[in-house]
Amino acid sequence: MRLHLLLLLALCGAGTTAAELSYSLRGNWSICNGNGSLELPGAVPGCVHSALFQQGLIQDSYYRFNDLNYRWVSLDNWTYSKEFKIPFEISKWQKVNLILEGVDTVSKILFNEVTIGETDNMFNRYSFDITNVVRDVNSIELRFQSAVLYAAQQSKAHTRYQVPPDCPPLVQKGECHVNFVRKEQCSFSWDWGPSFPTQGIWKDVRIEAYNICHLNYFTFSPIYDKSAQEWNLEIESTFDVVSSKPVGGQVIVAIPKLQTQQTYSIELQPGKRIVELFVNISKNITVETWWPHGHGNQTGYNMTVLFELDGGLNIEKSAKVYFRTVELIEEPIKGSPGLSFYFKINGFPIFLKGSNWIPADSFQDRVTSELLRLLLQSVVDANMNTLRVWGGGIYEQDEFYELCDELGIMVWQDFMFACALYPTDQGFLDSVTAEVAYQIKRLKSHPSIIIWSGNNENEEALMMNWYHISFTDRPIYIKDYVTLYVKNIRELVLAGDKSRPFITSSPTNGAETVAEGWVSQNPNSNYFGDVHFYDYISDCWNWKVFPKARFASEYGYQSWPSFSTLEKVSSTEDWSFNSKFSLHRQHHEGGNKQMLYQAGLHFKLPQSTDPLRTFKDTIYLTQVMQAQCVKTETEFYRRSSSEIVDQQGHTMGALYWQLNDIWQAPSWASLADHELLSPTNYHFLSSPKEAVGLCKAQITAIISQQGDIFVFDLETSAVAPFVWLDVGSIPGRFSDNGFLMTEKTRTILFYPWEPTSKNELEQSFHVTSLTDIY
């Protein structure tokens, strides 16, 4: 067995044991289904679907109709188990805990056949005291209950009134009652994603043993004092003191590059204790602030916090500290009713330009550090500065936020509630309270996070009556809404994080929503807050159809992913726009027809007699349509930032829906095929379908290599609109794509995400332009 033994703290003194030891239980576990008929090895962190696939017991879950074929996996009750030997002497430790950083989702935990606790929240961190049950050789079991069945039970037990929606629309092929379980909401299906309600241990699990005291949490917030014009740092540390006597000592906080070192005396009483430190940064020291991408540097400072405690116990934490301020400005605008809605970073108004982020995969164990870096680097390369972490997914892993800090990507952070009403019984609220408090502590130190938002679209769902609630019953649901997002989540944010603003929902009217009692009669108003806007019928080339709102936090259009992407999860019989497969993958009601309608407004639809050619051309055309629509709408919002027309405007943010895909299917994503559409600006004098004189362009490419980058020297025989470069399944990013080629030659760079060769690129390369269809 590979031992994962980490010596965390300094020795207490000569000839004594360490003050804390941590033993990881990552690695191989055993997994079995409910009736014991299926047993297999599985990795932790991981999930049952991944284990089954790795053992060859199921195909790729994304292949064809496997989201339906493998529904049985989510409906079974699986057990994770492991036997292990503790590599240190247990009797020498006063306290031993089992730490579970992430359990997905509902489980009973047995340690040496003794029930030590239960879990019901994918987003919480769990700690269980196992001091009295741990031995040298141990067994651990997590007996999972199907999240689908659990959600149904919880819904059935809520007999006082219905909490809608019961089920997703039939077109989504999903599971019901997801609002009754604290789990990734889109895992039960969404209008762009499949239903894979996973089970498993999705984050780290370990044993922690300690004497005297243990540092449970460590977090901090830089605070700027405007009146004194100086920076301060608030540091909060939570201890578990197991000594029977008070533990005294001192804390030394050092930030060398800011010439800051301050010492504090502390005394920790037995039990759970919180130490709060206030560090002042001298006015005489120049503090370089953190700026969003495109506005300045992302300067950070290395900090160490050393706790020197009685008995020679030293606890040291290291962190990178970033200094920045953020303000949400809601104030009257001359010539327009309502209020502004924009952000100041370090006192400077900034237009938020970017997209919405969804989980990068249905199976989180497949989301690697490399994938996150590549996706986030693509955001910066496309000149974006903001991502909204959408409330139907997950609170992302630590590395996501660390990369956003490093790259200068601002994060609009939703809490994980979306497109539903939610129960407010005490058990549910207790679980949410633990979740929110933990996530605030975990994330508040990141300068990239500029706002907390209570939910996605739930204020609008309630007040626009998505679920056909009778007028007489509405006060019940408004009361529940205020209880959950205002009296609980908002209060936790105000108590735990004073460094960034909070809004109850998105979209919302902000201050106006507060004035109306926390729910607004029209949460999508153009005069307040943010809006979500979707219109698939109006001509997207006509900028007059778009709302001149204060902030557009969602908007977009569907397209199909490239054929090279679909080819990997389909068979030849699936390759037509009206095939069973194509209809199955479309989770948005009427989506395929809407795409063709919008494309047909300005483009001739494919008419080839070859069905495969027609399918490929149709896919390509939906992508061109999407790119043009999003481009037109985004430019409209950007122009509206500096003007008031007919009392509307001063738009200070545009976040299109959505950046990334979760599987190979039609969606609103711009990154699928690992390529980002970022065309150069141009203007058409007429719709392309009315253009005269377009000749079929013969486009050739000579590929050469310069280090890790490949150079594509293109040459065309005629003007070629919407040139699309495709290298099949080779992951990477072109410097430009979907462009208008008016000159005879053009050079494009390709940045591969994995090692590849010139020969592989030449074999996979394919180029398409609008003239191939016309």
Dist. CA 678–CA 769, nearest whole Å: 16
Q: Which of 610, 626, 455, 481 is nearest to 556 (CA)?
A: 626
Tokens 């629309």: give the residue. Answer: 169
Whether residue 160 is contained in a domain is answered as no
- State the pLDDT at residue 277: 97
Whether residue 451 is contained in a domain is answered as yes
One-letter amino acid identity for 82? K
Tokens 């965390």: give the residue. Answer: 8
Q: Which residues of 70-100 are buried (b: 16+ CB within 10 A; e: fewer)?
A: beebbebbbbbebebebebeeeebebbbbbb
- State the pLDDT at residue 14: 32
Dist. CA 514–CA 554, nearest whole Å: 22
Dist. CA 285–CA 259, nearest whole Å: 8
Whether residue 659 is contained in a domain is answered as yes
Tokens 């430009």: give the residue. Answer: 736
Contact, 488 vs 429, CB < 8 A?
yes
Q: On the CB side of 726, how many CA atoms lie within 13 Å of its CA?
A: 20
- State the pLDDT at residue 259: 97
Task: Tell me, yes or no, whether 293 and 372 share the same domain.
Answer: no
Residue range 599-623, pLDDT digits in tens: 999 999 998 999 999 999 999 999 9
Residue range 365-401, pLDDT digits in tens: 999 999 999 999 999 999 999 999 999 999 999 999 9
| pLDDT above 70 (res 7) | no
Q: Would you state the structure tokens that stand for residue 147, as one six-digit string?
A: 């999240």
Dist. CA 550–CA 543, nearest whole Å: 16
Please state whether beta strands 699-706 and 342-345 pair in parallel, antiparallel, or not at all (unpaired): unpaired
The length of the chain, given as a count of residues? 774
Q: Which of 414, 325, 327, 407 is nearest to 374 (CA)?
A: 407
- State the pLDDT at residue 675: 44
| pLDDT above 90 (res 647) | yes
Among 454-468, 485-499, 601-615, 661-675, name the one with the lowest average pLDDT.
661-675
Task: Tell me, yes or no, whether 446 and 540 share the same domain.
Answer: yes
Contact, 277 vs 264, CB < 8 A?
yes
Q: Would you state the structure tokens that stand for residue 330, as one six-digit string?
A: 């809601």
- State the pLDDT at residue 682: 76
Whether residue 446 is contained in a domain is answered as yes
Task: Tell me, yes or no, whether 518 and 624 share the same domain.
Answer: yes
CATH of the domain at 536: 3.20.20.80
Q: Would you state the structure tokens that stand for residue 140, as one six-digit string?
A: 């651990």
| pLDDT above 50 (res 106) | yes
Number of Cβ within a 10 Å radius of residue 21: 22
pLDDT bracket for residue 684 (50, 70, 90): confident
Strands (E), 310-394: 313-321, 326-329, 342-345, 348-350, 352-357, 386-389
Handedness of CA 113, 117, 118, 119 (dihedral sign): negative
| pLDDT above 90 (res 496) | yes
Q: Of 651, 676, 701, which residue constitutes the final position of a domain?
A: 676
- State the pLDDT at residue 531: 98
Contact, 263 vs 252, CB < 8 A?
yes
Q: Cα 466 vs. chain centroid, distance in angstroms?
A: 25
Question: 732 or 118, which is more confident?
Answer: 118
Q: How far is CA 377 from CA 293, 373, 400, 465, 758, in A?
A: 11, 6, 11, 40, 23
| pLDDT above 70 (res 2) | no
Dist. CA 128–CA 103, nearest whole Å: 13
Whether residue 752 is contained in a domain is answered as yes
* Annotation marks residue 491 as catalytic: no
- State the pLDDT at residue 60: 98
Q: On the CB side of 616, how many CA atoms lie within 13 Å of its CA?
A: 20
3-state SS string over 707-756?
Answer: CCEEEEEEEECCCEEEEEEECCCCCEEECCCCEEECCCEEEEEEEECCCC
* Annotation marks residue 554 as catalytic: yes
- State the pLDDT at residue 680: 63
- Does residue 579 sit in helix, strand or coil? coil
Task: Tell me, yes or no, whether 286 and 405 share the same domain.
Answer: no
- Does residue 496 sit in helix, strand or coil? helix
Task: Tell me, yes or no, whether 405 and 475 share the same domain.
Answer: yes
Dist. CA 309–CA 266, nearest whole Å: 9
Q: Of 310, 338, 359, which residue constitutes the final position of a domain?
A: 310
Please state whether beta strands 106-111 and 137-145 pair in parallel, antiparallel, or not at all (unpaired): antiparallel
Q: Which of 398, 624, 542, 475 is nearest to 161 (CA)?
A: 475
Whether residue 337 is contained in a domain is answered as no
Q: Which of 24, 11, 13 is nearest to 87 (CA)?
A: 24
Residue range 9-29, pLDDT digits in tens: 333 333 334 678 999 999 999
What residues does 418 pair with on adjacent strands? 456
- State the pLDDT at residue 13: 33
Contact, 212 vs 247, CB < 8 A?
yes
Dist. CA 308–CA 265, nearest whole Å: 10
- Does residue 562 sit in helix, strand or coil? coil
Helix (H) or strand (E) holding 215: strand 213-225
Dist. CA 282–CA 19, nearest whole Å: 35
Contact, 78 vs 42, CB < 8 A?
no
Q: Which of 141, 330, 457, 460 is catalytic?
A: 457
Tokens 């949400």: give the residue. Answer: 328
Helix (H) or strand (E) holding 619: helix 611-639
- State the pLDDT at residue 223: 96
Q: Where does residue 283 rank: exposed (0-12), middle (13-18), buried (19+ CB within 10 A)?
A: exposed
Q: On the CB side of 53, how many CA atoms lie within 13 Å of its CA?
A: 15
Whether residue 318 is contained in a domain is answered as no
Dist. CA 243–CA 265, nearest whole Å: 18
Task: Tell me, yes or no, whether 694 and 670 share the same domain.
Answer: no
- State the pLDDT at residue 504: 98
Q: Where does residue 373 rank: exposed (0-12), middle (13-18), buried (19+ CB within 10 A)?
A: middle
- Domain of residue 510 covers 347-676
Q: How far is CA 586 from CA 170, 577, 655, in A?
A: 11, 10, 23
Task: Tell me, yes or no, whether 79 and 141 share the same domain.
Answer: yes
Tokens 């935990």: give the residue. Answer: 109
What residues does 232 pair with on adjacent strands? 223, 280
Dist. CA 20–CA 7, nearest whole Å: 7
Task: Tell me, yes or no, whether 453 and 487 share the same domain.
Answer: yes
Task: Tell me, yes or no, whether 555 and 623 share the same domain.
Answer: yes
**0.85 exceeded by pTM:** yes
pLDDT bracket for residue 573 (50, 70, 90): very high
- Look over the chain and give the mean of its residue pLDDT values, rounded to a whole number: 94
Residue range 149-183, pLDDT digits in tens: 999 999 999 999 999 999 999 999 999 999 999 99
Task: Tell me, yes or no, whether 586 and 723 share the same domain.
Answer: no
Q: How far is CA 696 from CA 256, 693, 699, 725, 738, in A?
A: 64, 10, 9, 16, 17
Total domain count, the chain = 4
Task: Tell me, yes or no, whether 629 and 753 share the same domain.
Answer: no
Instruction: Give me the percent of the chain exceeding a pLDDT of 70.
Output: 97
Task: Tell me, yes or no, whether 667 and 696 share the same domain.
Answer: no
CATH of the domain at 738: 2.60.40.10
Whether residue 339 is contained in a domain is answered as no
Residue range 513-549, pLDDT digits in tens: 999 999 999 999 999 999 999 999 999 999 999 999 9
Q: Which of 141, 330, 396, 554 is catalytic?
A: 554
**CB-based contacts of 127, cutoff 8 Å, min separation 6:** 97, 98, 99, 100, 216
Is the N-terminal amide bond of 565 cis, ω within 30° of 0? no
Q: Would you state the structure tokens that stand for residue 65, as one six-digit string?
A: 């109709």
Q: On the CB side of 197, how many CA atoms lie within 13 Å of its CA?
A: 29
Tokens 């990013």: give the residue. Answer: 733
CATH of the domain at 90: 2.60.120.260
Contact, 203 vs 10, CB < 8 A?
no
Q: On the CB side of 594, how many CA atoms lie within 13 Å of its CA?
A: 22
- State the pLDDT at residue 681: 74
